[in-house]
Amino acid sequence: MPSPQPNFFQRNALNLARLGMLAAFLIVWEVASNRFDAAFWVSSPTAIVDALKRWYEEGNLVADTRATLLEAGTGFVIGSLAGALLGFFLGWIRRLGDLLEPFVLAIYTLPKVALAPLFVLWFGIGLLNKVMFSALLVFFMVFFTTFQGARQVDQEVVTNARLLGAGRFQIWQKIALPFAAVWVFTGLRIGLPYALIGAIVGEFVAANTGVGYRIKEATAFFDTASVFAGLVVLMAISSTFLAILKLVERRALRWQSTDQAATAIATEAKAN
């Protein structure tokens, strides 16, 4: 008979399984790398940890991470603000949206990474260049989802609101904006990795600091362990970003959760 109170292992079965898989993967990596003498190509977990330690001791890890964080973070904020605002206006003002849609699409299909060299010309090789490039990538992601979202505001709901006495501004404020918020968050989630991509690509093209610059430099010296160390740092940064975003989203879009639906109906059944 199963115990009514699940013990520690039962409660965390999924996470323990994940941890086990990760450990197994790292061990296989380490062993295989030594066994087949493939450290030059794939490095090894211990070598990566050493590279990280060296990176830190040289005093560059913190500075590089800070630079990349600053570029990606500022770019993300600028890009998502501009994207959400413009996307909402063009999406909500239907005629303007119809007018501009083909142009917007044309720019959207352009591989934006190809703009990186141009951005060097415009914004130099300093921080500004990476911030702007990161903002550009994020902008398009957020802009597009918000644009599509704002165009999908249910016109019947809007008509119904007018019967309920809503003026034009109130429809904006109480119907269209909250409706679009869901899409803005979707855009933010999609746009977030692009903030990092923008910063890294910017650093690849021209930089003297940052995680991307370190990866490029290490590659030039065939220092595979340091390249992987850079990737580990990037992974940590993006995971942290995403966790924060999810937390904010869960608070802002509380109404979307369906957890309590069943409870509510059961409560009513009891009450009647």
Partner 1 sequence: MSAPAAIHAAARAPAAQGASDRGILFDGVGVTFGSLTVMGPVTLEVRPGEFLVVIGPSGCGKSTLLNLVAGTLRPTIGTVHYHGKLVSGPNSDVGYITQKNYCLPWRTVEENVKLPLEFRGYSRRDMDERAARVIRQVGLAGFEKHFPKQLSGGMLQRVMIARTLAYEPATYLMDEPFASLDAMLRMRMHHDLMALWQATGATFMFVTHDLHEAITLADRVVVMSGRPGKIKLVQEIDLPRPRNIVDAQSDPRFSAYFRTLWQALDAH
Among 133, 135, 108, 139, smallest CA distance to 204 is for 133
Q: Which is nearer to partner 1, 12 or 173 (CB)?
A: 173
Q: How far is the CB of 50 from partner 1 (least distance, A)?
A: 51
For 109-121, b where at least 16 C-beta lie within 10 A, e where not — what string? Answer: eeebeebbeebbe
Q: Which is nearer to partner 1, 82 or 181 (CB)?
A: 181
Q: How far is the CB of 155 from partner 1 (least distance, A)?
A: 10
Q: Which is nearer to partner 1, 28 or 253 (CB)?
A: 253
Q: Which is nearer to partner 1, 9 or 169 (CB)?
A: 169
Q: How far is the CB of 94 from partner 1 (least distance, A)?
A: 18
Pairwise CA distance, residues 170 & 121, whole Å = 45
Among 185, 162, 156, smallest CA distance to 174 is for 162
Q: Which is nearer to partner 1, 20 or 167 (CB)?
A: 167
Length of the chain measured in residues: 272
Binding site for partner 1 (CB under 8 A): 156-157, 159-167, 170, 174-175, 178, 181, 253-258, 260-261, 263-265, 267-268, 271
Q: How far is the CB of 223 from partner 1 (least distance, A)?
A: 51
Among 256, 142, 250, 249, smallest CA distance to 192 is for 142
Q: Which is nearer to partner 1, 170 or 209 (CB)?
A: 170
Q: How far is the CB of 188 from partner 1 (least distance, A)?
A: 17
**What are the two backbone dihedrals, phi and then psi, of residue 251, each rounded to the nearest 5 degrees?**
-70, -45
Pairwise CA distance, residues 79 & 184, whole Å = 12
Q: How far is the CB of 97 from partner 1 (least distance, A)?
A: 23
**Residues 245, 188 contacting (CB under 8 angstroms):** yes
Pairwise CA distance, residues 166 & 168, whole Å = 7
Tell me how many helices (H) and strands (E) the chain has: 14, 0
For 187, counting Cβ atoms within 10 Å of its Cβ (0-12 exposed, 13-18 middle, 19+ buried), the class is buried
Q: How far is the CB of 76 from partner 1 (least distance, A)?
A: 24
What is the three-class DSSP state of 44? coil
Q: Which is nearer to partner 1, 121 or 261 (CB)?
A: 261
